[in-house]
Structure 1
């Protein structure tokens, strides 16, 4: 690191300061330390600054801590040796105290000339720590062009960042999404770990929509399938000429046999993109499936292998995917009434699995490393571990059933009809009615209401019957034997 400190034009300390300022936020604990290799009586790393970041920028404190930083030497004047693994291990155990966080490491990625020849072994230990250390969940490297000259010369600088534990990985993901670091370091990060997750991504470029189903890609990358509520019933009926496997007839409604869930199928064209810079996927087998409502349904792919896919490059991939709509509420269900004018959402995912995966460093990256670190063998740290032979990528999927207002309007119409009927009945029940009865040859006109009973008496005052009135008419009940009583004249 000697020329990075002694060259008057060196931007090394300024770069460190800007990375620190981009990485931290109020509330973060910040520790700056220099490192080389521990010696008796001279432990490494050595703390330069320990502070809690508040709303005030720590720029002045960081600049002051870096100002006195100079090339480390061993007793006797020789330049100090380097131990990257020791530096990261002590940072995890002491600076972080075993807690989650981010560790940043700035180095020229090599030892001083004519120094400790055990450097190669320590580099292998560094490699093992990164790839096999359980607490290191993610690791990125930024090879940067920074030519400096002093007693020695250098063309490049390497910045590593290690995410410790799951929370640290989430912090690193959030930092990379924020774009703050990219304002300081414009070079893409080289991924060191993990090499078995998100090595590729699926980008839909063409979808042949099924009748009643429309596909779209959302700004967050989610693939959305909007299904008309009426399409569920259409899917349940056999479709003329539709193949059972959705192959040649993909793009038509897929019929279902008795007892089978209704499905829709569509042909989707993708770009399969390599996202694992700086590695080329020399070969891998691929398969895909959709995960919806607990059902895992295979997706038919136009190819089952990927070969020679360079980082950042993509290759076309066709597929046939079925959407189970039987899990969505029917058009006339209570759920449909509740969701009238909106949609019921069924979240899911498309999972892409790579197996028998073989990775190698891209030629472009090899050439870049040779230019930044001339004469140095390519570090083992960029050699993919042999046990990484598979990876998995996930594309969020959202199936939405759109419901119109018809079910709600039908329900409201029915309620209105019932209310009208109830009102009519109430009006009829409250209306006074005239009825004529004849008792022993005498015609009488009575006034009565529905739901009432009225006794009838002869001339002597004896009860001879009872007149009962309902919504539907009048009846005589409790007739005395021999009594001459009838309705009407």
Structure 2
């Protein structure tokens, strides 16, 4: 075991190196079970086990993603588990051959010095991958298993499954977890199996974001067509609101964008923009039925929040993938709307002033139940295996929040902008006229000792006035509004005009 930990720790160091390509990639750890219970998956000539894993790696990885491929069973002295098979950066051209070659050489493991097949420890495999292969960093751990968790081949399967349950639900390292139960009937020399399970565990916040993006991209669905069963989290996005009918109030119109965002187009003149909206309240948390829950809703736009009046305050027996009608009346904030003479309104004239927000739907006193259809499917794929209890919702989760993005677009006319432009032009004209007047020389008639003189001066200037003998007798100050005599010498015969 120490040897394996050291090996995977070295792999973790290579994965966490500060190379730019690694910084942008997702760390994937693929754990492939090869214990004795997996014998038919390895020996049946019709088995699609290894090709499935290869195709999954090729579908979910991006160029440059750091990856580890490891086999696991149960660690014993001289038989480490998990055991690294490959450590590489994913490359679409070469990785298929690398992964396929490593899996082709993989066989069912036996206990050291014995013909007995190796046992299985799911907790050990996942825990080692998180601690050593990822080295505490964010990433995705993929677990391919027949769902039998029986270290030392003991009979305490329920207890072992509970430990696995606690690792997933109570541990802080795993932030998001999905499971894909797949039908794959195989027959070996010793055992028969109906199916296998593929788990994917997101480690860290970045791992959770990457897993959500990966699911939304459809990459996993290219290989696995079965819906993902959610293990964690069970307190977020249990339902989805889809508007089916909107009764618009005067001055407001609602619509849904292709990306699933609710858009409200509001006329700036609307005094109390609101609308009656009928929704489909859809259960999106496969494979759980929402047995019962209290519901409430509110809208948040800018710094203003408003409650949304719902026709019903509860939901019951809502099966996964099913929806129930829900009527509501939603008012949009008025205090947050900019006035038509504000800079925001003028800047948005002819288009729209955009205010982002969201609708929050709160479920409280919620009670989730594993759907009977899923229980029956698991019983067919894994007969006699109690591991489906891992899907039992944690007792402490009693509430959840679903969020619908909302954008409010306020439409303003161009009249204020036109008025401001006209005012600006008028001001510019006045300033231009004043500048011309200021720069143009102005004529002044001055009488000095009965002699009429004509003087020219620009506004803002002062020039001296001399008598016939050449003595300075006064000064002429010129402004935009006329002329003025300054510093008039005592006894001097100087006046403005004739």
Q: Under a length normalisation based on structure 2, what TM-score does the superposition of the two structures give?
A: 0.83
Instruction: Map 1:141-220; keep pairs closer than 5 Å.
Output: 141-150=179-188, 151-220=190-259
1:171-212 per-residue CA deviation (whole Å, 9 max, x = no partner) reads 212211221111000110000111111111112222333333
Cα gap change, 1:474 to 1:3, in 2 (>3 Å):
same
1:3 is aligned, of 19, 26, 40, to: 40
Cα gap change, 1:444 to 1:91, in 2 (>3 Å):
same
Q: CA deviation at 1:110?
A: 2.6
Q: Distance in 2 between matches of 1:126 and 1:460?
A: 118
List alignment gaps of at least 5 residues for structure 1. 236-252, 254-263
SS of structure 2 residue aligned to 1:324? coil
Q: CA deviation at 1:352?
A: 1.2
Number of aligned residue pairs: give it. Answer: 458
Cα gap change, 1:479 to 1:373, in 2 (>3 Å):
same
User: Is it true that 1:43 corresponds to 2:80 in the alignment?
Assistant: yes
User: Is it true that 1:227 corresponds to 2:266 in the alignment?
Assistant: yes
Q: Distance in 2 between matches of 1:190 and 1:157?
A: 14
Q: Check conservation: 1:434, 1:445, Cα contact below 8 A.
A: no
1:433-468 per-residue CA deviation (whole Å, 9 max, x = no partner) reads 55666778x583634445356777888888887665
Q: Check conservation: 1:351, 1:395, Cα contact below 8 A.
A: yes
Instruction: Map 1:22-421; keep pairs closer than 5 Å.
Output: 22-54=59-91, 56-74=93-111, 76-110=114-148, 115-150=153-188, 151-228=190-267, 230-231=268-269, 234-235=270-271, 253=272, 264-377=273-386, 379-421=388-430
Q: Check conservation: 1:81, 1:116, Cα contact below 8 A.
A: no
Q: Distance in 2 between matches of 1:394 and 1:24?
A: 29
1:98-156 per-residue CA deviation (whole Å, 9 max, x = no partner) reads 222111111121368x9421222211111111111110111111011111122322221
Q: Check conservation: 2:149, 2:160, Cα contact below 8 A.
A: no
Cα gap change, 1:413 to 1:338, in 2 (>3 Å):
same
Q: Check conservation: 2:122, 2:149, Cα contact below 8 A.
A: no
List alignment gaps of at least 5 residues for structure 2. 1-37
Q: Check conservation: 2:445, 2:454, Cα contact below 8 A.
A: yes
1:204-233 per-residue CA deviation (whole Å, 9 max, x = no partner) reads 2223333333322222222222333x32xx
Q: CA deviation at 1:159?
A: 0.8
Cα gap change, 1:66 to 1:477, in 2 (>3 Å):
closer
1:330-359 per-residue CA deviation (whole Å, 9 max, x = no partner) reads 221233334444433322221111111100
Cα gap change, 1:426 to 1:80, in 2 (>3 Å):
closer
Q: Which residue of 2 aligns with 1:246?
A: none
Q: Distance in 2 between matches of 1:49 and 1:436?
A: 104
Deviates more, 1:397-406 or 1:10-19: 397-406
Q: Distance in 2 between matches of 1:417 and 1:379?
A: 78
Q: Distance in 2 between matches of 1:453 and 1:375?
A: 111
CA RMSD in angstroms, aligned pairs only: 2.9
